[in-house]
Amino acid sequence: MARTKHWREYLLLLVNRGAIPASTFIALAFFQRAMSSSNFESFLLAWSLCQWILAFGFQWQKNAAVAFFHYKGYYRISVSTFFVSALIVTVIFVIFSRYTGSGLLYGGLAYTITAGALYFVSTNYRMRGSVAFYANVDTVFQVLRWGVAIVAVILVPLADAPFWGAALTLTVPLMIFLFTKGSGFPVGPGLTWKTYLGTGVWLAIFDFAGAGMMYVDRFYVKESDYILHSTVSNQIGSVLFGALIATAYPRISLAWRQGDDRWRREFRRLSRLIVPLIILTPVLCVTAGPVLLKILSPGSPVDLRVLFIGAIAQSLHHIIAFVSIVLILHGKNYISALIYLCTIGLYLPTLLLLDDHGWLFVSAMRCLFLIIAVILVGLATLSYSRKRRVDVATS
């Protein structure tokens, strides 16, 4: 019965992860035709910035919920930290928007804060065990946000318009998750600011580096064709593995509270999906990617090699995130954070070679560095997966 429930949740999350990029691509195809080329390019750059800031500004709080959700004082500390994060994100958005060349789009900032709040609130809801309800609600409104964004562009065909439409739409699921009760309650030991932020800093560093590996190349090229290639490979690449991550985090965290044998069994069971997913993901990308690119930009050439390597990079990134769950639960997530920080430190200099060697070389180097990171994080995870669990808040 439990296994059937888990598969149902995975399928619902798979639909969720598939519906989001599908609706995104439809919206992008419309935006390119409805906006001027300069407005569309500004939108793409601002959207890439939003995605990166969301990843390192708010994603870490989603991951922190894995370790701390059931501890007393979690809500008070995490909510306070969210508002501080929102303030910091605002400053970063203003600074980076000028650097990327997109211009300061207030709608983009509003979208980033709203989507970040939804990240935070929906994760807490999902950690209570209400995965199916979360998946259904999130799927509907993640698709609807682009529908409203399209209407906004029809009314005002400017780069800022889609962000305002999407931000207003996402406030609805935010309210639903905020005021709907789940089944879980804090039962663990007391949580301190020192413990929460001590773990959170490393989670933020991990997400900053991980998001950088996926998005930073766009800010060097600043061409719509390249950004569309990157977007397609990232979005398709995150469908199958994204559903696995969304299933794994709450399941392994809940099993962690029930003993060593339970969480290890859950981790091993979900790990079996990695091999088929890393095969299916690039296949899906090279088959569906060209179709999507022709819809998005009919006159632009399609480079299957870049799509394939981009899908591999996304798969490797998600594998690192998956195996890092064990390190998060053991309070050793600084290991994966430092490894990922070194990885992006090696990758950034290769971007300076874009003009001489092109997309393919830089994409291949990104995969090489990610493979090394997977091996190192995997070895660390293997070591700690054999150790007895210790509550992070009391260790």
Contact 355, 224 (CB under 8 A): no
pLDDT at 188: 57
Domain count, the chain: 1
Q: Which residue has the tokens 């020192």?
A: 194
Domain that holds residue 326: 2-394
Q: What is the mean pLDDT of the chain?
A: 82
pLDDT at 320: 93
Range with lowest mean pLDDT among 93-107, 169-183, 303-317, 381-395: 381-395
pLDDT tens figures, 344-369: 999 988 888 776 777 778 778 889 99
Alpha-carbon distance of 127 to 121, in angstroms, equals 10
pLDDT tens figures, 271-301: 898 999 999 999 989 898 888 888 877 777 8
pLDDT at 173: 92
Range with lowest mean pLDDT among 34-48, 145-159, 246-260: 246-260
Contact 254, 185 (CB under 8 A): no
Helix (H, G, I), strand (E, B) or coil at 182: coil
> Token digits for 218?
């766009």
Contact 297, 32 (CB under 8 A): yes
| pTM exceeds 0.75, yes or no | yes
Average pLDDT over residues 7-14: 75
Alpha-carbon distance of 102 to 198, in angstroms, equals 34
Please give the span between the terminal C-alpha atoms of the chain, in angstroms, as a whole number. Answer: 35
